[in-house]
Chains A and B, each alone.
Chain A
Amino acid sequence: MSLNKEKTCFILEGWSYIQKGITKLIKIIEGEPEPPFEVTHYMKLYTTIYSMCIQSTDDDYSQQLYDKFRQVIEDYTIYQVLPSLREKHDEYMLEELVTRWNKHNVFVRWLARFFNYIDRDFVCRRGGAILTLREVGLTCFHDLVYRELHSTAKEAVLTLIHKEREGEDIDRELVKSLVDVYVKNGMGTLETYEEDFEIFLLQDTASYYSSKASKWIEDDFCPDYMLKVEEYLTRERERVTHYLHSTTEPKIVEKVQNELLVVVAKQLLENEHSGCRALLRDYKMDDLSRMYRLYHPIPQGLEPIAYLFKQHIIEEGTSLVKKNRRVNELQDKYMVYVIKCFQNHTLFHKASKEAFETLRREGGIEKLE
């Protein structure tokens, strides 16, 4: 930059020039017919701001420009962004929110380029005490738009997810973009996503599956019920990969498992006609394997099944003894279950072992050789 003092920059003149550039930028962002920026124009805007900054011996002009930066974004948001959002509802509001979010980011990016010197110089020298220009931009959106709309948006998104659960097709990309808005407005943490969205999603999930469980447990036999559980778990996992944040997966799975498997465990497993004992009686290896698979990830999920397994062996063994038949073949028979259905899990080895010990004690030794 030549020390050409004839080109002293008058602040009002300089700012008026910048203002015109900003108006042009806004027109382009809003999609109005406007020719794109020329390189020379960009350089002039950058240079104007640069000159204004180096003019002052104190940081007075830089501070003013920094404040103006924020004000420009706030004004744009208040006078153009918010009105257009307020007049829309439901899914249309969601679409507008995503569009506005994208436009906002482009706007801030360009504006930050014009004002780049401020970031490099004024902001930098404050050593982290003030926000960078990009952070200022994000904060404006958060404080003015996000705060007002996040709750309404959350309701609309949950409605869409409910629709999808009931079998309707929804715009998955839209939901994904919205989830991203929640994540990005957390400014580096997931707290916003978790507190303003995820927690409500989990509540909805729990009540949805609670009512499903009540219905299915009345209507279905255990094997069919389990098939449904497996299918819905897969669908929920898939849902996460499509549009939720990955950290949500274990939380959603836990809710579904709780409603569909834990709450109804007794009713499901002890069902006389189709529960665990019935499956053992009828050699239903696939169904028993499924049962193991479903209950294995749940803390203390397998204990009730192992208990029923043990009781079953004792009952079978006792009735054989009464008929004066040998019991040791039983051991091989049930070992097959332990290996094939219950993945050699120690709980089931133990259950089997305890069952045969009980049979030995009560049945008399001579019957078991």
Chain B
Amino acid sequence: MRETVKLISMEGFEFVIDREAAMVSHTIRSMLTSPGGFSESKEGVVTFPDISTPILEKICQYFYWSLQYSRGKETEFYIEPELTLELMMAANYLHT
């Protein structure tokens, strides 16, 4: 089991985050935990050709914020207004 996973945006930006953080997304989680699985799940690389870099970055931040929140650190998660719509759609897509 690898500790980190790599998420790649539409423009090719690579975000390396903790596996635990990535699993906040049910879609990513089901991919990483499929038994009898995927040939690349050992490497933990996922490309999102439809998600732009700023959105993917915000999503990664959200993952970490979500983990902290669930551990009791109840802060607020700020979303820039111009990102809201895309972010919501990405969250829906990723089942987050």
List residues of A whose CB falls within 8 A of some B CB: 1-4, 7, 35-40, 42-43, 46-47, 50, 106, 110, 113, 116, 120
Which of chain B's residues have a CB closer than 8 A to the CB of A2?
10, 50-52, 55, 86
Shortest CB distance B61–A (Å): 18
Is B51's CB under 8 angstroms from A39's CB? no
Whether A38 lies near B46 (C-beta < 8 A) is: no
A-B contact pairs, 25 of them (CB 8 A): A1-B86, A1-B89, A1-B92, A2-B10, A2-B51, A2-B52, A2-B55, A2-B86, A3-B86, A35-B39, A36-B37, A36-B38, A37-B38, A38-B39, A39-B46, A39-B47, A40-B46, A42-B31, A42-B38, A43-B47, A43-B48, A116-B27, A116-B30, A116-B95, A120-B95
List 13 extra interface pairs beyond A1-B93, A7-B50, A42-B38, CB under 8 A: A1-B90, A2-B52, A2-B55, A3-B85, A3-B89, A35-B39, A40-B46, A40-B47, A43-B47, A50-B93, A106-B36, A110-B34, A120-B95
**Which residues of chain B have a CB within 8 Å of any CB of chain A?**
10, 27, 30-31, 34, 36-41, 45-48, 50-52, 55, 85-86, 89-90, 92-93, 95
Chain A residues with Cβ under 8 A from B31's Cβ? 39, 42-43
CB distance from B15 to the nearest CB of A (A): 15
Q: Which of A37, A38, A47 contacts B50 (CB 8 A)?
A: A47
Classify the interface of chain A: helix, strand, loop or mixed: helix
- Chain A residues lying within 8 Å of B41, measured Cβ to Cβ, are 39
In the complex, which residues of chain A have a beta carbon less than 8 angstroms from the beta carbon of B34?
110, 113
- In whole angstroms, what is the CA distance A1 to B45 when docked? 18
Query: Given that A3-B86, A50-B93 are contacting pairs, would A38 and B40 also be in contact in the complex, using a CB cutoff of 8 Å?
Result: yes
Is B46 in contact with A43, judged by CB distance below 8 angstroms? yes
Query: Could you say which residues of chain B place their CB within 8 Å of the CB of A39?
Result: 31, 38-41, 45-47
Nearest-CB residue, chain B, relative to A29:
B36
How many Å lie between the Cα of A183 and that of B90 in the bound state?
40
Please name all residues of chain B whose beta carbon is closer than 8 Å to the beta carbon of A36 when the two chains form the complex.
36-39
In the complex, the chain B residue whose C-beta lies closest to that of A3 is B86
With a CB–CB cut-off of 8 A, which chain A residues contact B10? 2
A116-B48 Cα distance, complex, nearest whole Å: 17
Smallest CB gap from B92: residue in A = A1
Q: How distant is the Cα of A38 from the Cα of B41 in the complex, in angstroms?
A: 8
Please name all residues of chain B whose beta carbon is closer than 8 Å to the beta carbon of A3 when the two chains form the complex: 85-86, 89
